[in-house]
Amino acid sequence: MITNDYIILAQQGMHARPATILIRLVKNFKSAVSLKRGDKTVRLNSMLNILSLIIKGGETVTVIVEGEDEVEALRAIDLFFTEQLKDI
């Protein structure tokens, strides 16, 4: 299991469009991926799960990846949070 913290760079936070892109990205991997904000953790398999966290710009979230391709999955997720999210 690998975990990593990210600051949400998009001013609008995690709304429907970036949530959909993140779910599509995660579906490319066999590993189970979860997102945590505060004391609530959700699986990244549903847009409603992500939206239920009400993640705002500037907040910190934790990504939890567990599975056979967790390193590759976290690399792709890292790119999403550090480069792509701010442009969505």
CA end-to-end span of the chain, whole Å? 28
User: Is 27 an active-site residue?
Assistant: no
Of residues 6, 15, 67, 76, which has the active-site annotation?
A: 15
DSSP for 29-60, please give it: SSSEEEEEETTEEEETT-HHHHHHT-PPTT-E
Q: Any idea which residues carry the catalytic annotation?
A: 15
